[in-house]
Amino acid sequence: MRPANLPGLAFARIYAVASNTFREAVRDKVLYSILFFAVILLLASLGLREVALGDRDKVVRGVGLGGISVIGAIIAIFLGVGLVWKEIERKTIYTLASKPLPRWQILLGKYLGLWATLAAEVGILTVMYTLIIGYQQGMPGAGVYLAMGMLMLELTLVTAFATLFSTFASPMSASAYTLCVYVIGHFADDLYTFGKASNNPAFQSFTLAMYRVVPNLGMFNVRTEAVHGMAIPGTEVMWAAVYALGYTAAVLAVAMAVFERRDFK
Amino acid sequence: MTSAIRTEKLGKTYYSGFFRFPYPALMDLDLDVPEGSAFGFVGPNGAGKTTTIKTLMGLQRPTAGGGWIHGVPISDPASRLRVGFLPERPYFYEHLSASEFLDFYARLGDVPSSERGGRVAKLLERVDLGRFRDVPLGKFSKGMLQRAGLAQALIADPDLLVLDEPMSGLDPIGRALVRDLIVEERNAGKTVFFSSHILSDIEAICDRVAMVVGGKLRGQGKVSELLEGAVQHVEIGLRRGDERETRNVPPAESNAALVKAHGEGWTIVNVHPVSKTLEQLLLDEVERARPVVTKRLGVLA
């Protein structure tokens, strides 16, 4: 009998699930509507130059980068929350989970397929951004591309949360949970500062515990530095990468454990 | 003969509602499906057929007992290495074309890349979908989807085919195609385990059958053996001069009836035990299990 768990076979199966997920996502018309909206947003940012105060070029660059970041998060949440739920709801999970592959391989494959979709989306938007800014202000600096890389790290983590919630909640609930993580994650530093400012030791401990548990998504935001042409330290990028990958691995491990225990009625 | 599928005291209880009321869908199932057989799994709606199949296919975890496919525990994905599965009312990826769909499942079934293209084309022809290879599954009719599903189950050339209601909702042509396919696979030495409501098909195709009612196994074995034990009445053909008569008597009274006819001067032409059909056998089992099923449902009431 052929062994079920040879590393080569595992890779081939994960790749098959990932490519099917990618193919499904890029054939989804809703995705193109979001992408179209993103392009309109980028083009509209050009018009800001005429009405903005201060350094108009920086405003345009900042709004463009911010727009890509928000659109990236919307796509990550939109696709991520339905990732597993859709398979169960449409009952395609019956033929998928009955194949000789462990469930963690299904989940990892689906996650990687979604990640590849996001990378393609961010890639397309980055090209659009480059063309628009390049036409108006000349080629953007390297910091902009580093900011896009940091955005991908952030989306890697946000998508892992969306995938986790998708293993047990409906898309509506999973969207709400992921949005909560996204919003709290962006205010993690403020949570810490807020606790420090308090004189209540119990409240301080609570905010510190919260700060340590929720993902610190603020650390991936280097858009201000990119827009102003400031240096972004390499150690900061490296630490962010380690943090994103480590946190993602932990969240996916929980998602796999939940998915492993599910009955498909 | 080794078993393609074997279960021991396999059970599945669902829990529903806030107070997690138990609902035993399957109890103490001891199943033995020999390799190379066409095995019919029959029972009314809600009998536990789909629950059994989903548990065997790793879609649900049993709450009692265990099961083995080709000797490998069903909790191990490796047990499904040589298995092709078609779920009831198949749902597939609508964004994929028929050939992309089969290619995807061929990859998951570890079919080498050098063989995939040829096998996909051959199977699409076999289920009469060759002309629709580039059409998305979203545009397929129910019958076409069922055939695509069968091709999906066959793509990795499995030794065991598990089909849940493969003929439900199909027109006569579709049913004949599925029936022929099952017979072909059985003749090729493969094991086919399938559930169906259409008992005439089961009688025609299967050499073995298991009957499940109210979550419990009510009998299994060769179809002929099951029906043999279910003689409904004995038909006695009689002749006396030009006069002819046929008498139907209960099996227990057949000897006495023969002696009586002989005493009346009749010549006995033939004695034919008339068995129940599989359908009558199933209806009897349903009737016999009614108090149990009512009690079981009463748990939820």
pLDDT computed for residue B51 by the predictor: 94
Cα within 13 Å of Cα(A215), Cβ side: 28
pLDDT computed for residue B1 by the predictor: 62
Work out the angle at residue B236's Cα, subtended by the Cα atoms of residues B231 and B242, and round it to the nearest 5 degrees.
160
A193 touches chain B (CB under 8 A): no
Render the burial of A195-230: b for 16+ CB within 10 Å, e for the rest: beeeeeeeebeebeeebeebbbbebbbbbebbbeee
Answer whether residue B123 shows pLDDT above 90: yes
B87 touches chain A (CB under 8 A): yes
Verify whether the Cβ–Cβ distance A100 to B93 is below 8 Å.
no
Dist CA A257 CA B180 (whole Å) = 42
Single-letter amino acid code for the residue at A62: G
Dist CA B58 CA B55 (whole Å) = 5
Please report the residues numbered 41 through 70 in chain B whose beta carbons come closer than 8 angstroms to any beta carbon of chain A. 54, 57-61, 70
Dist CA B249 CA B247 (whole Å) = 6
Chain A, nearest residue to B63 by Cα: A263
Dist CA B195 CA B202 (whole Å) = 9
Strand (E) or helix (H) holding B6: strand B3-16
pLDDT computed for residue B98 by the predictor: 94
Chain B hits for A264, Cβ within 8 Å: 54, 59-60
**DSSP label at B97?**
B
Alpha helices (H) along B155-222: 172-187, 199-205
B15 touches chain A (CB under 8 A): no
Verify whether the Cβ–Cβ distance B96 to A23 is below 8 Å.
yes
Q: Count of residues for chain A?
A: 265
Verify whether the Cβ–Cβ distance B105 to A91 is below 8 Å.
no
Do A155 and A122 contact (CB within 8 A), yes or no?
yes
Do B33 and B39 contact (CB within 8 A), yes or no?
yes
Reference B64, options B7, B113, B9; nearest CA is: B9
Q: What is the pLDDT along chain A (265 residues), one digit of tens a residue?
A: 444 455 567 889 999 999 999 998 888 887 888 888 888 877 777 777 666 666 777 777 888 888 888 888 988 998 888 888 888 888 899 999 999 999 999 999 999 999 999 999 899 989 988 888 888 777 888 888 999 999 999 999 999 999 999 999 999 999 999 999 999 998 888 888 888 888 888 888 888 888 888 899 988 988 888 777 787 888 888 999 999 999 999 999 999 999 999 999 8
Please give, rounded to a whole number of angstroms, the shortest distance from the CA of B132 to a CA of chain A. Answer: 19
- Mean pLDDT score of chain B, rounded to an integer? 86
pLDDT computed for residue A1 by the predictor: 45
Residues B260-278: pLDDT tens digits? 988 988 988 888 877 677 7
Q: What share of chain B is helix, strand, coil (3-state, %, to 5)?
A: 40, 30, 30
Chain B hits for A1, Cβ within 8 Å: 70, 72, 78, 81-82
Single-letter amino acid code for the residue at A251: V
Cα B245 from chain centroid (whole Å): 40
B152 touches chain A (CB under 8 A): yes
Surface-to-core class of residue B89, CB atoms within 10 Å of its CB (0-12 exposed, 13-18 middle, 19+ buried): middle
For residue A251, the SS3 value is helix
Residues B158-197: pLDDT tens digits? 999 999 988 887 888 888 888 888 999 999 999 999 998 7
pLDDT computed for residue B290 by the predictor: 66
* Contacts of the segment B241-249: beta carbons below 8 A, 24+ positions apart: B244/B269, B248/B274
Please give, rounded to a whole number of angstroms, the shortest distance from the CA of B75 to a CA of chain A. Answer: 10
Reference A107, options A164, A154, A152, A161; nearest CA is: A164
Chain A hits for B89, Cβ within 8 Å: 91
pLDDT computed for residue B300 by the predictor: 43
pLDDT class of B291 with cuts at 50, 70, 90: low
Residues B33-42: pLDDT tens digits? 999 999 999 8
All residues at 6 or more sequence positions from A26 whose CB lies less than 8 Å from its CB, including other chains:
A117, A120
Please give, rounded to a whole number of angstroms, the shortest distance from the CA of B77 to a CA of chain A. Answer: 5
Dist CA A74 CA A175 (whole Å) = 10
* Contacts of the segment B226-229: beta carbons below 8 A, 24+ positions apart: B226/B278, B226/B281, B227/B275, B227/B276, B227/B277, B227/B278, B227/B281, B228/B275
Dist CA A175 CA A186 (whole Å) = 16
Structure tokens at A137: 């202000």
Torsion of CA A92, A13, A101, A27, to 10 degrees: -10
Answer whether residue B298 shows pLDDT above 60: no
Chain A hits for B97, Cβ within 8 Å: none
Chain A hits for B80, Cβ within 8 Å: 98-100
Chain A hits for B14, Cβ within 8 Å: 265
pLDDT class of B2 with cuts at 50, 70, 90: confident
Residues B36-67: pLDDT tens digits? 999 999 888 888 899 999 999 999 999 999 99
Q: Count of residues for chain B?
A: 301
What is the CB neighbour count within 10 angstroms for residue B117?
A: 12
Between the alpha carbon of residue A199 and those of residues A162, A194, B204, the distances in Å are 36, 10, 83
Dist CA B205 CA B172 (whole Å) = 16
For chain A, which residues make up each domain, given as ranges?
7-261
Do A59 and A19 contact (CB within 8 A), yes or no?
no
ipTM: 0.82
Dist CA B4 CA B79 (whole Å) = 10
Query: Model pTM?
Result: 0.84
What is the CB neighbour count within 10 angstroms for residue B95?
A: 17
